[in-house]
Chains A and B, each alone.
Chain A
Amino acid sequence: MKKYIVTFLLVLAVNVVNAQVKLLTLSELEQRVAKGNDTTYVVNFWATWCGPCVEELPYFERLNVENKKKPFKVILMSLDFKSKLQKDVIPFVAKHQIKSEVYVVNESDQQKFIDRVDKNWSGALPATLIINTAKKVRSFHEKDFTYEELVKTISTLVKP
């Protein structure tokens, strides 16, 4: 019985913050971004276990809010193990009340995945990809950002 109550509460908590976390392949992400035309996508690769990633998440959240009226979208791609989706990722998203879209990367071969994201990526987290299909922008950054750095980087890349 206790188990059911816990599950029920968990489901409730998850629904309250609308924390939907699905699996997403890189191809699915690319299709989505290509359809976005003039939308600027800021795709952040992170994981719940990655300290510097968790530290910079609020900046991405803030970006999303500040650019609400613009064609702008933050997508948080988690590299947590797929098996940890229910146990780690969904509770994390609920606890931190993350409003940006969150996915767990659905790729079994990291070797191919990393190179497809960017040839220069060593595989260290966090990493961020800034894409605007209409403006032919695709810029990869293997580093953590401050909010100011993020704003500056994006505005330099994507001219209004």
Chain B
Amino acid sequence: MKKLILACLTLFVVNVVNAQTGYQVGDLAADFNLKNVDGKNVSLANYKNAKGYIVVFTCNTCPVSKAYEARVEALNKLYAAKGYPVVAINTNDPVASPGDTYAKMQERAKEKNFSFAYLEDPDHINTKKYGAMRTPHVFVLQKTVKGNEVAYIGAIDNDQQEANDQRDNYVQNAVNQLLKGEKPTVVSTKAIGCTIKWKKEVSR
């Protein structure tokens, strides 16, 4: 019986934690100040002409993230000038995932010629705050008088393998609508991704 109660409590706690973590559409997202691959720190507030942001939680190592690298670059090329720059944040702990160290991030950015900021997130502070669950995981933010409002959460498109005839470019659609002064029709989507490589808890 005790075991059952414990199991129930555990389930309960897990559910509560799941329900509480991260932003929902409509929430105001916090700014950050994180180190970019060029050594300089970047905050959302640095982008003076931005109307919003395409925040992409990603990493070096996840095959899904890699499959989307070119598409993330294309998003920045397409929307940075229109006021929606891409800001990429590496979710992974460099010890848990040795391919995701700061040096490897720099290498990757250089090799792939990233035109967007690629930031490290020590101790997963922003990954947790935003509630990124996997890589890649996109949060489109709209700059409003109240702050940076979350307008879309989810996948870049529904065509991970570039094989879906009915491709929906979720992020593009959302940003296009925001640029027209509309609210995005689709505000939340899902896709298969890699788990975030969390920092191992130090046992006491």
| A50 touching B194, Cβ below 8 Å | yes
- Set A47, A51, A108, A122: member contacting B134, Cβ < 8 A: A122
Interface range, A side? 20 to 34
Give chain B residues whose Cβ lies under 8 Å from the Cβ of A49.
Answer: 62-63, 194
Chain B, residues 13-41, CB within 8 Å of chain A (1/0): the string is: 00000100000000000000000000000
Q: How many A-B residue pairs have CB under 8 A?
A: 69
Q: Is the CB of A123 within 8 A of B164?
A: no
- Chain A CB within 8 A of B195 CB: yes
Most chain A CB within 10 A, of B161, B168, B192, B193, is at B192
Stretch at the interface among A68-76, A90-98, A110-118, A130-138: A110-118
Q: Tell me which of B62, B164, B196 contacts A109 (CB under 8 A).
A: B164
Judge if A121 is at the interface, Cβ distance under 8 Å.
yes
Contacts of B161 in A (CB 8 A): 81-83, 108
B193 close to A124 (CB less than 8 A): yes
Main SS at interface, chain A: loop
The answer to whether B166 touches A79 (Cβ under 8 A) is no
How many of B's residues come within 8 Å of A, CB to CB?
26
- Say yes or no: A52 contacts B195, CB within 8 Å: yes
The 4 A-B pairs of least Cβ separation, nearest first, read A124-B134, A122-B133, A49-B63, A108-B164
Measured between C-beta atoms, what is the minimum distance from A146 to chain B in Å?
15
Closest A-chain residue to B131, C-beta based?
Answer: A122
Q: Which residues of A contact B191 (CB under 8 A)?
A: 110-111, 114, 123
Q: Pick 5 A–B contacts, CB within 8 A, sort by A.
A: A81-B67, A123-B134, A123-B155, A125-B193, A156-B7
Tell whether A110 pairs with B192 under 8 Å between CB atoms, given A49-B63, A156-B7: yes
Question: What would 4 more interface pairs be, CB under 8 Å, given A110-B190, A144-B195, A156-B7?
Answer: A81-B67, A111-B189, A111-B191, A122-B134
Interface presence of B160 (CB below 8 A) = yes
Contact B166 A109 (CB under 8 A): yes
Chain B residues positioned under 8 Å from A108 (CB to CB): 159, 161, 163-166
Q: Is the CB of A124 within 8 A of B158?
A: no
CB distance from A7 to the nearest CB of B (A): 25
Nearest CB in chain A: distance from B8 CB, A: 11
CA distance A49 to B97 in the complex (A): 13
B97 to chain A, nearest CB (A): 8
Q: Which of B156-197 contact A (CB under 8 A)?
A: 158-161, 163-166, 168, 189-197
Contact among B155, B159, B168, B194 for A124, CB-based, below 8 A = B194
Q: Which residues of A contact B62 (CB under 8 A)?
A: 49
Inter-chain contact A79/B192, CB cutoff 8 Å: yes
- Is A123 in contact with B163, judged by CB distance below 8 angstroms? no
- The docked-state distance in angstroms from the alpha carbon of A123 to that of B170 is 16
Partner of B190, one of A114, A126, A156: A114
In the assembly, what is the distance between CA of A13 and CA of B7, in Å? 44
With the chains together, A62 CA to B163 CA distance in Å? Answer: 35
In the complex, residue of chain B having the shortest beta-carbon distance to the beta carbon of A120: B18
Q: Which residues of A contact B196 (CB under 8 A)?
A: 124
In this complex, the member of A49, A83, A115, A126 whose beta carbon has the largest number of chain B beta carbons within 10 angstroms is A49
Give the complex CA separation of A125 and B190 in angstroms.
Answer: 12
Chain B 67-85 against A: per-residue CB contact (8 Å), 1 yes, 0 no? 1000000000000000000
For A79, A110, A144, A156, which residue has the most chain B Cβ atoms within 10 angstroms? A110
Whether the Cβ atoms of B195 and A124 lie closer than 8 Å is yes
